[in-house]
Structure 1
Amino acid sequence: MPRIFALDSVKFFLICLVILGHTLGFFIKEKTLSYGIYNFIYLFHMPLFVFLSGYFTKSYGLKSVKMWISLLMLFESYILFDVLHRIPDMLYKNINLYSLIEPSWSLWYLLSLIYWRFSAQFFSLLHVSKWIILISAVVVGLVSGFLPIGYGLSIQRTFSFFPFFICGFLFSKTDALLKIKAINTIISVSCILISLLLCLFLVNFNISDIVWGGKPYAESIFGLWHSLVYRFLFFIVSSLICVSVLNLFLHFFSRENIFAVEGKKTMLYYVYHTFMLGFIFYFIEGTMLMEYPSLAFVITPIVIFFLFCISRFSIFSWLTNPITNSVRFLKNRGEEK
């Protein structure tokens, strides 16, 4: 199957939004214009990322060595960077046992990806309609909010974003992308602009509990049943924006370009950007600079450019899986002898 460069370009666009969203998160304390942009980003960037993760997931089967190696590599990256994130807390703070099972910052995604890819091997064995599986996944995503589980082991988030992963996985072998591309781009632009304007207009509406997907309904500020309705609406609105974004990229970024090249390295951008942000905000937190959310639009390009530069050096990619890469190196060296 030929590589679809538009999807790689989308991945790079999304990782830039991840970095911007995390940067804005440091500044936003009041309901401002920046808060509206922040809400808009979170309405779709992770759902679309999860969809693409599902789209690129292979159904190797439970007995496949490739499948287990891919999961172990994800787990290795998760453990390594989770430990690195916790070092400052270990040195300067008291750590309780529950905090240890909560993934550090953005690393929840790696843990959830392990769950999703493992579950995908089961779904590939089912001989039922894709729509039945997808509807079941939506039901699971909605009902999971009633479970008394939160951020621990990223279980609630795994269920919350599960429908998007299953959608990408199930429709990767269909002509779904062709149908998305067939949509008039004016409709896509209109959908995106309307969503953005609504987020800017409803700037006083706190949607964090909805779009983060990490809290059970009982802990949400909206209450039990309202949270259920809002999560369902989130699925719908997010899906519309995701389809619109895909449509535009399939139209205008169909050829290989610098964004598509960098889109293949999103893992590197994902695991390293938090350290850069942590370093930057260590120096500016508590200063007058924190009063200017617009500074996020300056910091984000700097971080992206820095990550672009270090991605030129293979050592940084190698360090995302040092154990696995060391074993491979020793194995290849032994075979050469």
Structure 2
Amino acid sequence: MRASPTPSADVPVRPSATADVGTANPTPGKQRAQRDPFFDNAKYLAIVLVAIGHSWEPLRSGSRSVTALYTLVYAVHMPAFIVISGYFSRSFRATPPQIRRLLTGVVLPYVVFETAYTLFTRWTDHAPDRAISLLDPLYLTWFLAALFVWRLTTPVWNHVRHPLPLALAIAMLATLSPSIGNDLDLQRVLQFLPYFVLGLSLKPEHFQLVRRPEVRQLAVPVFVGALAVAYWSVPRFDYAWFFHNASADQLGAPDWEGPVMTLALFACSTLLVICFLAWVPRRRTWFTALGAGTLYGYLLHGFLAQGAKSWGWYDPAWVRGPLGEITVTVVAAVVVTALCTPPVRRVFRFAMEPEMRWAFRRDTTELARP
């Protein structure tokens, strides 16, 4: 598998939540009015966790505390992104406008950044012969490939009687199949599928429940307990299970452990996602607008995260101490925040939000409009 050891997240949901999820594309004024600050806040906070998790990767060896925090972050940030992506995909019906947005907002960025990451790693890893393969996602691009597959199958999940149990069964079976190839990182696509289907099954009232004061209060001891368990489990548990990119056999575990871990990790991550969402602000904040740019922060910060290791930024001894770990965390949060800002989005919009009207035929509905 060509992907980096860190499997991270969230596509993030595209800058325009309504456009990304396959609903009708509203006018700019209506789109702003329809945006819920809660979800933009959640996307921004999740992308910050993604960047911080990547920044901690080189610091794990020799630090039990960092490894425990790393495990906790990986248990929540990707599931949170995927649940939100599923929730905003509920109206996908594969109409012509939705297919166009899927191609321009998911497929095109995948092609551009799969190529860019391959060329970048040729330079940083001194591997000039590394081939560009659009079927074998490299580093962060796996999420775009997965989102493409999940969204195309949305009409199926919207019509079956028990979608979540079926998705869990598929994920459990995937852990028993080491023969699943690297094409589109299918192992991750299948193992993360239940979180997407969970998002498809949610309704607005479910998000109202997680915002209740008692849920917010319970979230604190849950996170404290989860961190304690993560610290205890560092020498006893392989956190690679949270990457969902390998079968039980590939992780050196007996086959029966794969389905059991699938259910256990799904329950654990779902609980942590609920606690995470419970503490997401519901009102507009200084970072609410940045939630519209999470795709930019997600795809662009990977170049710095990968390059920092090759450029020796982690080599100084002080970086491995408490001051260095705090500094790395703050720098990661600041960098990904900057990458979500409007100036950066304007520069890279050609690759992430292209119009490309010239590439598509107008459907009959558009032709009928005045």
Once the two structures are TM-superposed, the CA of residue 291 in structure 1 deviates from its matched residue by: 6.0
How many residues in Structure 1 have an aligned counterpart in Structure 2?
321
Q: Which residue of 1 aligns with 2:221?
A: 190
Q: CA separation of 1:170/1:184 partners in 2, compared to 1, >3 Å: closer, same or farther?
A: closer
Structure 2, gaps ≥5 residues long: 1-32, 362-370
Deviations 1:184-232 (A, max 9, x none): 3222211111111111122213433310000022211223212322222
Q: Secondary structure at the match of 2:226?
A: helix
Q: Alpha-carbon deviations, 1:161-191, whole Å to 9, x = none?
A: 11111111121x3521122233432222111
| Greater mean deviation of Cα atoms: 261-270 or 202-211 | 202-211
Question: Letter of the aligned partner of 2:256 in structure 1?
Answer: W
User: Relative to 1, partners in 2 of residues 1:179 and 1:220: Cα closer, same or farther, differing over 3 Å?
Assistant: same
What is the identity, as a one-letter code, of the residue corresponding to 2:233?
L
Q: 1:48 matched to which residue of 2? A: 80
State yes or no: 1:62 paired with 2:94: yes
| Identity fraction in percent | 18
Match of 2:337 in 1: 308
**How far does residue 293 in structure 1 lie from its aligned partner after superposition?**
6.2
Aligned Cα root-mean-square deviation (Å)? 2.7
Is the 1:134–1:167 Cα contact (8 Å) retained in structure 2? yes
In structure 1, what is the Cα distance between the partners aligned to 2:183 and 2:62?
28
Contact 1:185 1:248 in 2 (8 A): yes
Residues 207, 301 of structure 1: alpha-carbon distance in 2 compared, 3 angstrom cutoff = same
User: Residue 20 of structure 2 aligns with which residue?
Assistant: none
Between the aligned partners of 2:351 and 2:337, the Cα distance in structure 1 is: 16
Q: Which range is displaced more, 177-186 or 105-114? A: 177-186
Q: 1:289 Cα shift?
A: 4.0
Counterpart residue identity of residue 144, structure 2: L
How is 1:167-186 mapped onto 2 (pairs within 5 angstroms)? 167-171=198-202, 173-182=203-212, 183-186=214-217
* Paired residues for 1:151-162 under 5 Å: 151-162=182-193
Q: 1:118 aligns with which of 139, 142, 152?
A: 152
1:220–1:227 CA contact under 8 A, matched in 2: no
- TM-score if structure 1 supplies the norm length? 0.85
1:292 and 2:320 aligned: yes
Q: Does 2:298 match 1:270? A: yes
Q: Distance in 2 between matches of 1:328 and 1:309?
A: 32
**In structure 1, which of residues 256, 260, 266 is the aligned counterpart of residue 284 of structure 2?**
256
Closer, same or farther in 2 for the Cα pair 1:286/1:46, shift >3 Å? closer
Partner SS state of residue 220, structure 1: coil
Distance 1:89 1:37, change over 3 A: closer
Deviation digits for residues 29-74 of structure 1 (CA, Å, limit 9, x no counterpart): 2352101110111111111110011111242312332234324431
1:5 to 20, 28, 37: 37
CA distance 1:18–1:309, change in 2 (3 Å): closer
- Give 1 or 2: higher helix fraction: 1
> Are 1:84 and 2:112 counterparts?
no
TM-score computed with the length of structure 2 as normaliser: 0.78
Distance in 1, matches of 2:41 and 2:231, equals 26
Matched residue, 1:213: 244
Amino acid at match of 1:146: L
Change (3 A) 1:296 1:325: farther
In the alignment, structure 1 residue 36 sits paired with structure 2 residue 68: yes
**Corresponding residue for 1:281?**
309
Relative to structure 2, which stretch is displaced further, 193-202 or 64-73? Answer: 64-73
Unaligned residue ranges in structure 1 (runs of 5+): 332-337
- Whether the 8 Å CA contact 1:42–1:211 is kept in 2: the answer is yes
Aligned to 2:137: 103
SS at match of 2:234: coil
- The residue number in structure 2 matching 1:243 is 274
Per the TM alignment, residue 326 of structure 1 is displaced from its structure 2 partner at its CA by 5.7
Shift of 1:150: 5.3
Q: Does the CA contact (< 8 Å) of 1:151 and 1:215 recur in 2?
A: no
Partners of 1:158 and 1:140 in 2: CA distance: 10
Residues in 2 aligned to 1:259 and 1:283: alpha-carbon distance in whole angstroms: 30
Q: Which residue of 2 aligns with 1:335?
A: none
Alignment partners' CA distance in 1, 2:321 and 2:86: 34
Letter in 2 for 1:262: L
CA distance in 1, matches of 2:219, 2:314: 41
Secondary structure of the structure 1 residue equivalent to 2:180: coil
1:75 aligns with 107
Deviation at 1:90, TM superposition (A): 4.2
Shift of 1:159: 0.8
